Amino acid sequence: MVPLIDLSRRWQAHGDEVEKAVARVLDSGTILLGPELEAFETEFAAYCGYDRAVGVASGTEAIRLALVAAGVGPGDEVVVPALTAVPTAAAVCAVGAVPVPADVDPETAGLDPASAASVVSERTKAIVPVHLYGRPVDIDPFLDLGPPVIEDAAQAHGAVSPAASFAVAYSFYPTKNLGGVGDGGAVVTADTGVAAYVRRLRVHGMVPERAYVHDEIATNSRMSEIEAAALRICLGHLDAGNARRREIARRFREAAPHLTFQADHPRHVYHLCVVRVPGRDAFRDGLSVRTGVHYPLSLVDQPAYRHLRRIECPVARAWAAECVTLPCFPEMTDEEIDTVCEAIA
Ligand SMILES: Cc1ncc(COP(=O)(O)O)c(C=O)c1O
């Protein structure tokens, strides 16, 4: 069976480099907040086309800390797409705010600006579009709505062009296009003040250069030196991996022109290669390759979030009912790609 993803192959390919980096960190004696993190932040910011990146404990934390930095707090509302990984909304709840789901576009699966506009009110303090499955969303229409825009780019390393948003939040969960050896995330921003604030928030609100003096109530959201060292190595392989993912998706489209793929985009990085199939379960059962479902429920149907529904979000619900994720990862062999092509043809 062709697997949906096989992370062991990533570490078989880059394991030697990572092992050396881990040894370097352990030998240095600096396990947290050291030179590896600083170097990774500089390199990742440059890769994203920004001046500043702040490494944090996870992608969920990156969204949460960006929301705090934007001044979002208890009782505020934040517009999120109804089709996303649940952490987009969980991060909003973590600051005491209310996620308000809006519908997505039928072809791109990205947040629909008109639907987002329909739920914006004077209580809306941020909008969080998601670059879902690795396909970049056009941010400009959301900027026009007024509240600060925080981009959820957890699935879109290499896809996102710099925009006038408040911040961009990344996850380095191991399965991501840029995945680490544990949890990790980053807040990327053009605003040096926002970057400095998030840097403070990730260490209990401690004042820089004044050890154990705290001017904010915050918590711990640090990224380890080992994670940062591994990410620096993987960053060097990211563009090649993304190019391979694009090539795999191109081959699938060519083999199965009858399938409805998520709309393509020149910067799509295919974190997930997703098709829509009515009668999804029978389709999956009949395939000789493993597939996934991202996601089986829209936010407005998730048991923990459905009470937040303001509008129906029929498009997100249709995506959730029909989406099928095909195997698409850089280390797939040519034979495995052929097998998937034959299976879906
Ligand atoms: C769209 C999206 N947002 C946020 C997250 C949260 O990232 P993490 O798992 O690193 O907290 C994820 C990953 O799970 C995600 O896919």
Write out pLDDT tens, residues 89-115: 999 999 999 999 999 999 999 999 999
- Take atom 8 of ligand 1 and give the residue whose Cα is closest: 59
Q: How far is CA 217 from the centre of its chain?
A: 27
Q: State the distance from the centre of ligand 1 to the C-alpha of 90, rounded, in angstroms.
A: 10
CATH architecture of 238-344: Alpha-Beta Complex (3.90)
For residue 209, what pLDDT is reported?
A: 87
Q: How far apart are CA 237 and CA 11, in angstroms?
A: 12
Class of domain 7-98+109-231: alpha beta
**Considering the entire predicted model, what is its pTM?**
0.98
What the block records as the tokens of 199 is 């840097």
In testing the pocket of ligand 1, which one of 84, 92, 130, 173 has its CB within 8 Å of the most ligand atoms? 173
Structure tokens at 262: 């998520």
pLDDT of residue 82: 98
CA of residue 211 to ligand 1 center, whole Å: 32
Q: Residue 193 burial by CB count (10 A; 0-12/13-18/19+): exposed, middle or buried? A: exposed
Q: Which residue is listed with tokens 């249709």?
A: 318
What does each C-alpha distance from 146 to 25, 122, 134, 195, 225 come to in angstroms? 44, 10, 25, 21, 38
The pLDDT value recorded for residue 70 is 98
What are the E-state strand segments in the chain? Answer: 52-56, 77-81, 98-102, 124-127, 150-152, 167-171, 185-189, 260-261, 273-276, 323-326
CB of 58 sitting under 6 A from ligand 1? yes
Ligand 1: does its nearest atom lie under 6 Å from the Cβ of 221?
no
Domain boundaries, the chain: 7-98+109-231, 238-344
What is the DSSP code (8-state) at residue 117?
A: H
Which residue, among 264, 88, 271, 267, has the nearest Cα to 178 in the 3D structure? Answer: 271
Cβ–ligand 1 distance for 173 under 6 Å, the answer: yes
Residue 49 CA to ligand 1 center (angstroms) comes to 21
Token pair listed for 8: 């062991």
Strand order in the sheet with 260-261: 260-261, 273-276, 323-326
Name the closest-CA residue to atom 12, ligand 1: 154
pLDDT tens-place values along the chain, 345 residues long: 999 999 999 999 998 999 999 999 999 999 999 999 999 999 999 999 999 999 999 999 999 999 999 999 999 999 999 999 999 999 999 999 999 999 999 999 999 999 999 999 999 999 999 999 999 999 999 999 999 999 999 999 999 999 999 999 999 999 999 999 999 999 999 999 999 999 999 999 999 889 999 999 999 999 999 999 999 999 999 999 999 999 999 999 999 999 999 999 999 999 999 999 999 999 999 998 999 999 999 999 999 999 999 999 999 999 999 999 999 999 999 999 999 999 999
Distance (Å) from CA 231 to ligand 1 centroid: 16
Whole-angstrom distance, CA of residue 134 vs CA of residue 116 = 20
Q: Is the CB of 109 under 6 A from ligand 1?
A: no
**CA separation (Å) from 120 to 51, 75, 100, 108, 255?**
30, 14, 9, 21, 42
